[in-house]
Structure 1
Amino acid sequence: MSVDKIIEQMAKSARTASRALARCSTSKKNEVLLKIAEELVKNEAYIKKENKKDLSQAKEAGLSSAFIDRLTIKDATIRSMADGLKEVSALDDPVGSIVKTWIRPNGIEVSRMRIPLGVIGIIYESRPNVTIDAAGLCLKAGNAVILRGGSDAFYSNQALAGIIKKVLPESGIPEEAVQVVPVKERIAVNALLSQEEYIDLIIPRGGEELIRFVVANSKIPVLKHYKGVCHVYVDESADIDMARRICFNSKVQRPGVCNAMETMLVNKKTAKNFLPEMAKDFTAAGVEIRGCSKTCKILPMAKKASEEDWPAEYLDLIIAVKVVDDMDEAIRHIEKYGSDHTESIVTSDYSRARRFTREVSSSVVLVNASTRFNDGGQLGLGAEIGISTSKLHAFGPMGLEELTTTKFIALGNGQVRE
């Protein structure tokens, strides 16, 4: 069978499975998640054996140590996947919940009820744990899912898929509710993106190149997250010690993730007191500073920033620093160079904090806190399937509720429209 036919058949069967899954009780879905978690732990040796095939090929291909680290499945990785499923099982089920209710003058009671999206396609790179994380979240939200992992993690993903495929029918859920694309060919992605008749949403997780490819080629709505160009603005009223802690954590704690700070904006009234001590912290941690002309006058060791630095997502121990005249200039800079991901202000002025949260349009805007808090778990969602910088249909970290939509329910007692 051709790749196109394989993908079409998967999409058709996912649509059928989604209808059955939408009717599943919360207890049934939780039972399945806990059973998959149990089977993951039982099959540790098999999963790691298959993962070694991917690791061997990655090393032969000369892929980076960072890539190989993301690809590696350890005992701790398997325990983390199992624990994640247990956490999702403990979360409230959004399906069937009533969001809002009101009564019209004619007596009809109108409400909005949460329902699954239907069938979700997820395209991702390298990290095999996404297979389990995404499957668990989609199942709990009542959605069927088709997963297309990177070819570099092919054997690992197929091993994980086999475990899920075994558990689902044993628990009375169609095995087609979770499917992993069984071929390596890149054309499988194109085939998946053309199944608009059966798939309701595509979620790409990976680098900017992958996401732009998906957006350019999909006939299905796509939730986008091109990159995370995140800013911290240090206001003139900022507590200097607090600002140092927040900026250091935002940049250094995990520099290779999308919610790490890439550009630090500093009010000119604060710069001379703040930047020298902040630079000492950054330099000790191995951070390269690229600054505007005003920054370089205060920090002679800083490299002169170019225009390419302001929209850059370094994902590394590099930071761009700009001294701004006021908050107006900081907001204009964010509007011009930001990616609608995460921004933070450090200030002791309540009115400026309120204005910053109101005027900055990114998916998460923080006051006196690190950008690293733009994360589903950290914000109380329990888990996330990714961070959307699209304003439709979700914006920011996507938890269970963001994997559902709402429909209107209207209850009458004989009313007819005049």
Structure 2
Amino acid sequence: MSDGEKPLKVAVLGCGSVGSQVVRLLEEQADDLGARIGAPLELVGVAVRRIDAPREVEVPAGLLTTDAMGLATRDDVDLVIEVIGGIEPARSLILAALKHGASVVTANKALLAEDGATLYAAADKAAGGEGRDLYYEAAVAGAIPILRPLRESLAGDRVTRVLGIVNGTTNFILDKMDTSGAGFTEALEEAQELGYAEADPTADVEGFDAAAKAAILASLAFHTRVTAADVYREGISDVTAADVASAREMGSVVKLLAIAELNDGAVSVRVHPAMIPRSHPLASVREAYNAVFVESEAAGQLMFYGPGAGGSPTASAVLGDLVTVARHRLAGTRGAGESSYADREVLPMGETLTRYAVAIDVDDRAGVLAAVATAFAEHGVSIKTVRQEGRGEDAQLVVVSHQATDAQLDATVEALRGMDIVRAVSSVMRVEGESDEHG
């Protein structure tokens, strides 16, 4: 860093669990950050809702302000960090900051998944058309570097599939159900007691958080605009201890997966619980950790693993982006913007290829298996394996299909429910992570 280099001025919007750790790291690592960038960083303001609220780190009173818009649009601010979350006022603040010439780093997955195109357009128009950076590594999987590898490291490759555990709350719950035999409610209560789940866990357990992240991953991987509304979503609240036990008997484990893949040139994006073999790398991801498994034509299979949430891990990703955009600002350049040139079709869930494991309570008499197999065949679904459990009134068939469209599989399950020999379809679970020669 050259002597007398003019400081780059930084504004932080939000001082919750992530924002407070961003402020702490900016202060503690000021010398190192300045050396890496080539100019010092100067924190000039932190926008908060209440000046007197308790905080994890002590922020000099002179830096605190309740005027977030005034801070975001200060003429001398070079870099704005948005860690407020939600749609508004975050969207208005980011758009205003870009319009006033600041580069922006955000961790806002919900906003990017809902209206990323508007933010990208504003970044392109900023500074009189010169453009400004919009970086958001922290929006998906906390400290795990996954967005930049998709956007930059794999830019010369063709990504075909992204399979990820991107929500720590649901992974903790399902892991607890698998290791202890607990039911969903019991495991959720433990997650809340340990601080892994919010008092209102809806965004996590019903898959909204993972769906936003899946949209961002798919957009980058397949160079196509994908919003949260494009993502098929199922949560884990209907997963039972019996589902988890059945998966264990099949050598599998249940995970909430975010899946984005290419199917004949079109994109499918979904979030739902699924069985994966215990031999799959994602099966070993325990407790509240995250992991993303990427498949590409040239590089093959890659896995990114680590803490997917928390103040310090997420702040680490924010600071990594800050260093990059600060370097660009100093050099008078900018990084890659939106890449949506492929503009691929996003398939509805019914047209997406998938695989089911179906547990069917049946009458224990001759011809049952043949009748069940016929129901699958009539809907164009090939059976991979069948296992019978129990006898008499406890007789159950567990059928795992080969790949078919979700609509075909759903129609098969409805047909099974209408058969006289079927007492109940007790469980339907998608299966991922296995090779399928019929797919």
Q: If the length of structure 1 is used for normalisation, what is the TM-score? A: 0.31
Which has a greater percent of helix?
1
TM-score, reference length from structure 2: 0.30
**Greater fraction of residues in strand:** 2
